[in-house]
Structure 1
């Protein structure tokens, strides 16, 4: 979600090498491509819909109506939708602790999850106050708890919950150990990571393009990382290798 589509396209083209194509017959929405494969969507909807400029994950569901009902039943909020959007239906929601996310019912680009490498999303991570409550919420809402283990595996390891779908680790929920008390200092949100070849160089490009280096490049056990903001305040992390 962004407030200026042209500024966003210029920034991410220079930083990640993305090219863009209009999508869903909407002038305010584009899909970003890297090496011919789709990697993300950018919509100039933040201002008109009252959303903050931010990256958010979308979870594919069979029925947006049923999942929206589950969200509400568990004390969370469906802010918009479900509404028709291109070849499907979409709803924007927030979990009980306030982290925004989307749900998508409809056609999904077959190549979307296949390609990996520089310029591609490499990881999504929920940063939340209460990892135990969040795991229960998403498992019940998205059906992780009813899927067979070979299809969906949710497990706690190294102070985070890892989610594997069809054998591929797709993301994590992090907020301290399961037995820990909720941490009031954490502002719950989903955080996205993009892969780049050279993290320090990417941080320099971001700053030169009008963005902000929030966390300077540093070496972690996942490789080099740096957290950045784009020109309109969207927060994300670049990392030097795929998770």
Structure 2
């Protein structure tokens, strides 16, 4: 598998109190299967598969104070160098770059407003083996309150080419990889400005999206499995989306491509 270009979302994992409950929830919702886990040396990390291809992972929380959350990882050819760039641009590090055996090197970083994201320098594990298909990752966006500060940070650290959607989606800017023409057709993620209508106490955060064949059915299934619908299905210019919460409290979104 070819390495992911710098800044492209290349992996996602969920940090959960109960991995077995997570396997039941996501197994039924997305049709995922799971391996036996990486064992104690790698934190009992369990990889998820769709059609035999790696799509995400579930990991047990080692401390109850840790958040129950989906994390997204942005690709880097040099994790230590990108970690330094994060700090120089006003962000921080939750976890310094750390080798994960032969699989690669990871770090956890924060942007200037505190939104957490991962860095991944691939080794034998480059990242998603399937994306953009039902049951697999398809998009991510960061929610912030200072658009200019966020844009400067992500474009400096990853070289993103930004493109404001303007009247299409208010307060939204897409990210295209360095060296590509900016715009929705080349975008790999984006930035949403939290303005009126967002709770004042809601912190800056990333939201991970998974593709589904039927957004409404996915919302009903999530609720039936013990989760809840945070934002009900709605049509946007790029499909039909809903924000869901799993049976343990981790938020994520689903996107149905209406053009298919």
Q: Deviations over 1:31-88 (max 9, x none)?
A: 21111222112221x3438431111211111222122222223332211121122421
How far, CA to CA, are the matches of 2:213 and 2:123 in structure 1?
A: 31
Question: Is there any run of 5+ residues in structure 2 with no aligned partner, and where?
Answer: 1-14, 181-185
Change (3 A) 1:111 1:82: closer
How far, CA to CA, are the matches of 2:229 and 2:243 in structure 1?
A: 6
How far, CA to CA, are the matches of 2:192 and 2:172 in structure 1?
A: 5
How far, CA to CA, are the matches of 1:162 and 1:242 in structure 2?
A: 20
Superposition pairs of residues 67-86 of structure 1, within 5 angstroms: 67-86=82-101
> Does structure 1 residue 155 correspond to structure 2 residue 163?
yes
User: Is the CA contact 1:129–1:186 (under 8 Å) kept in the aligned structure 2?
Assistant: no
1:175 equivalent among 193, 217, 222: 193
Superposition pairs of residues 8-23 of structure 1, within 5 angstroms: 8-22=22-36
TM-score (norm 1): 0.83
Question: Is there any run of 5+ residues in structure 1 with no aligned partner, and where?
Answer: 145-151, 178-182
How much has 1:228 moved relative to structure 2? Answer: 0.7
User: Is the CA contact 1:13–1:19 (under 8 Å) kept in the aligned structure 2?
Assistant: yes
Q: Deviations over 1:95-143 (max 9, x none)?
A: 110100011123265682654221111110111111221111112222x
How far, CA to CA, are the matches of 1:211 and 1:47 in structure 2?
A: 22
Structure 1 vs Structure 2 CA RMSD: 2.7
Change (3 A) 1:114 1:83: same
Tell me how many residue pairs correspond in the alignment: 230
TM-score (norm 2): 0.78
How much has 1:219 moved relative to structure 2? Answer: 2.7
Give the SS at the match of 2:66.
Answer: coil
User: Is the CA contact 1:37–1:111 (under 8 Å) kept in the aligned structure 2?
Assistant: no
